[in-house]
A and B are shown apart, each in its own frame.
Chain A
Amino acid sequence: MAKIVLKDLWKVYGGEVEAVKGINLTIEDGEFFCFLGPSGCGKTSTMRMIAGIEEISAGQIYIDDVVVNKLPPAKRDIAMAFETYALYPPLTVWENLAFPMQVRGMPRDQIEKEVQRVARLLDLTDVLDRKPAHLSGGQQQRVSLGRAIARPAKAYLFDEPLSHVDSKARLRMRGEIKRLQETLKTTCIYVTHDQLEALALGDRIMVMNFGEIQQVGTPEEIYNQPRNLFVADFIGEPPFNFFDGVILADGEHLSFKSEEAGFSVPLPDHVREKVAHKTGQPVKLGIRPMFISPSLTETPDSHIRGSVYVFEDLGENGVLTAEVDGNLVRVMTDPYFAGKLDDPVWLTLNTDMVHIFDPESGLNLLFAR
């Protein structure tokens, strides 16, 4: 159980490559915290600095209000599952799982009990006496995860622990990890590039890019109130749709007009007050695919005319990609959408759900402070 605080944390490799650029973050005791971002965004470097296996270039890390910058990893009492598994090749699965407990001098029968418990949880009972070289990638990754959670620790760090597990087992293990954390109430940090995993697991999420924090918030905040274009684009599948255009004033009312897509939508009241100062200036309008509804016939309230580019039936729902003046717009539909290739299609935006971004700073004007 630990509160982890990062203060102006920097990681510079070889004096040149800035992997982490001055991160300030507080991870509360007992929180399930996800680091989310594309590869090379600095999330793993941040985690490795917390674990103590990467030197801190500048700044401080506090674990339970103690600066741990100079503490060796063993003294930090943190467990970590590595993305590369980092198993011990000369040892069997059993010995791998027992390894961290042995160094703590736990009695043999207790170690045996813990190993059996973890092996059952992660479906490793049959392979306990095998060496890592004789396991599949997914099994190795589960051993690595098991080694981390087999012992009590102040915090568990998971670096993409499910990236090589097949999709069915991944869903199950995701649930197990979540349940485990909720039972133990131990602080967890979970690094992933999979936004779904982060949304499903995290109490809070830090979205990173280029070594900087893009946004920190609950999954709901991240999903519904993306702070900038990067977060909006990164979270959600299929991703956000963006349109370039300008804000136009018509007396009291404001509207967004896109020349290239050839449409104009009125902006609702809660948006108006936030973007009024941008009147006449170029902005980006963003909207999630689920807030656009398609129609094969023109309706009085439809905004955009396009054509069916492709339709994917995913069983439970469908994804329509419409071509609007050379740009592709993605729309969530029911799976019964009947449009054929190149059929004309009319799109209606749920204007209550639009976001307006400043194209220069990328900030979401609705939530800019």
Chain B
Amino acid sequence: MNPAESYRTGIPWGKILSLILLVIYLAFALIPILWMVGMSLKNPLDVMAIPPKVIFEPTLENYARLFLGTQYSQREVARTDFPRALLNTFIIAGGATLLSVIAGTLTAYALARLRFSGREDIAFIILTFRFAPELTIILPLYVVYRTLHLYNTYIGLILIYQMISLPLLVWVIRGYFEAIPYDSEQAALVDGYSWWGAFRKICLPLAAPGIAATSVIAFIFCWNNFTFGLLLGARETQTLTVATSGFISYEQVLWGQMAAASVVTIIPVLIFAFLVQRWLVRGLTFGAVKG
């Protein structure tokens, strides 16, 4: 039997092994999420049951409480902060992403195209925003925010959240711009377009899918941030991650509601992640470049 035949008829160990590893990874990644979804559908008694109940009677009570408030007796309703937090997070993460997409695209373009002294230094400094753990800067920042009356304001939180998204956007979009042949843009300049015209008509359409994909990732990063929201925001500007953590109180942990809050939190992120995947796969095409 020659080697090629033995390869064909033998047991495909490689395939089996990779399949096993994939299953292990999937379990590792998905079981906590499934567990959480299950928990969000359990009543408080089922949540605490030991051994855990796999079969139980699902209830939407946790979600109802999340959005409508907690009923104590028949009449009294405790107000819920959760819808507000959802809105806050959209405003803050969205605002920060929008701000950093505008600033980041222009910065990335300058870093990709213009020749000026200190260019690499500036690019590096922007990246260093992501080096230090947020907690190391939060104390001085807290004082600054108090002094400038930015504490617990949308503007203040958008400004600090864009520190999360801007470096990512600048560095990724810069790569996209560098991949666009400069000649096409210069041709537009010679053809009579202003710098802005050439940028808008040639560069931007080509980089748009990349910018969109990166923006979504940046948005997800902002969405998931906890530290800044916790320490620089308060009740009026509370974000989802902070609101979710609020279910751990001094007296008890509201597991069911916390799980429900977590599920609600990850839904927009999941939707966006699927969108990114599509865009990234499509990628960029530079048809008119000589190979």
**CB-CB under 8 A for A90 and B205, given A74-B193, A74-B194, A131-B287:** yes
Q: Is B190 an interface residue (CB 8 A)?
A: yes
Q: Size of chain A's interface in residues, with CB distance under 8 A?
A: 31
Across-interface contacts of B194 in A (CB, < 8 A): 72, 74
B189:A73 contact, CB within 8 angstroms? yes
Q: Is B187 an interface residue (CB 8 A)?
A: yes
What per-residue 1/0 map shows which CB atoms of A117-149 lie under 8 Å from chain B?
A: 000000000000001111001001000100100
User: Which residues of B in the span 196-212 have a Cβ within 8 Å of any Cβ on A?
Assistant: 197, 201-202, 205-206
Q: How far is the CA of A349 from the CA of B290 in the complex (A)?
A: 46
Q: Is B286 an interface residue (CB 8 A)?
A: yes
What per-residue 1/0 map shows which CB atoms of A83-104 lie under 8 Å from chain B?
A: 0111111100000000110011
Q: Is A20 an interface residue (CB 8 A)?
A: no
Q: Is A283 an interface residue (CB 8 A)?
A: no
B184:A89 contact, CB within 8 angstroms? yes
Q: How far is the CA of A186 from the CA of B286 in the complex (A)?
A: 33
Q: How far is the CA of A289 from the CA of B285 in the complex (A)?
A: 49
Q: How far is the CA of A79 from the CA of B193 in the complex (A)?
A: 12
Across-interface contacts of B191 in A (CB, < 8 A): 74, 79, 99-100, 103, 147
Q: Is B50 an interface residue (CB 8 A)?
A: no
B187:A82 contact, CB within 8 angstroms? yes
Q: Is A294 an interface residue (CB 8 A)?
A: no
User: Which residues of B in the span 175-197 have a Cβ within 8 Å of any Cβ on A?
Assistant: 181, 183-184, 186-195, 197
**CB-CB under 8 A for A74 and B186, given A84-B181, A86-B181, A164-B290:** no
Pick the contact of B187 from A72, A86, A137 — CB < 8 Å? A86
Smallest Cβ distance from A82 to chain B, in angstroms?
5
Interface size classification for chain B: 20 to 34
B183, B189, B192, B287: which has the most chain A beta carbons within 10 Å? Answer: B192
Across-interface contacts of A6 in B (CB, < 8 A): none
Q: What number of A-B contacts does a CB cutoff of 8 Å give? A: 84
Across-interface contacts of A80 in B (CB, < 8 A): 187, 190
What per-residue 1/0 map shows which CB atoms of B234-266 lie under 8 Å from chain A?
A: 000000000000000000000000000000000
Chain B residue with the shortest CB-CB distance to A144: B187
Chain B interface SS verdict (over half)? helix
**CB-CB under 8 A for A52 and B197, given A87-B184, A88-B202:** no
Smallest Cβ distance from A3 to chain B, in angstroms?
19
Chain B residue with the shortest CB-CB distance to A131: B287
Pick the contact of B189 from A53, A87, A147 — CB < 8 Å? A53
A74:B192 contact, CB within 8 angstroms? yes
Q: How far is the CA of A95 from the CA of B249 in the complex (A)?
A: 64
Q: How far is the CA of A164 from the CA of B287 in the complex (A)?
A: 16
B190:A52 contact, CB within 8 angstroms? yes
B186:A137 contact, CB within 8 angstroms? no
**CB-CB under 8 A for A53 and B186, given A88-B288, A133-B287, A134-B287:** yes
Across-interface contacts of B290 in A (CB, < 8 A): 84-85, 137, 140, 164
Pick the contact of A86 from B184, B192, B205, B206 — CB < 8 Å? B184
B288:A74 contact, CB within 8 angstroms? no
**CB-CB under 8 A for A103 and B187, given A90-B205, A133-B287:** no
* Interface residues in chain A, defined as those with a beta carbon under 8 Å from any beta carbon in chain B: 51-53, 72-74, 77-80, 82, 84-90, 99-100, 103-104, 131-134, 137, 140, 144, 147, 164
| 30 A-B residue pairings within 8 Å (CB atoms) | A51-B190, A52-B190, A53-B186, A72-B189, A72-B195, A73-B186, A74-B191, A78-B190, A82-B186, A82-B187, A85-B288, A86-B183, A88-B188, A88-B288, A89-B184, A89-B206, A89-B287, A89-B288, A90-B205, A99-B191, A103-B191, A103-B193, A131-B287, A133-B285, A133-B287, A134-B287, A137-B290, A140-B290, A147-B187, A147-B191
* Interface residues in chain B, defined as those with a beta carbon under 8 Å from any beta carbon in chain A: 181, 183-184, 186-195, 197, 201-202, 205-206, 285-290
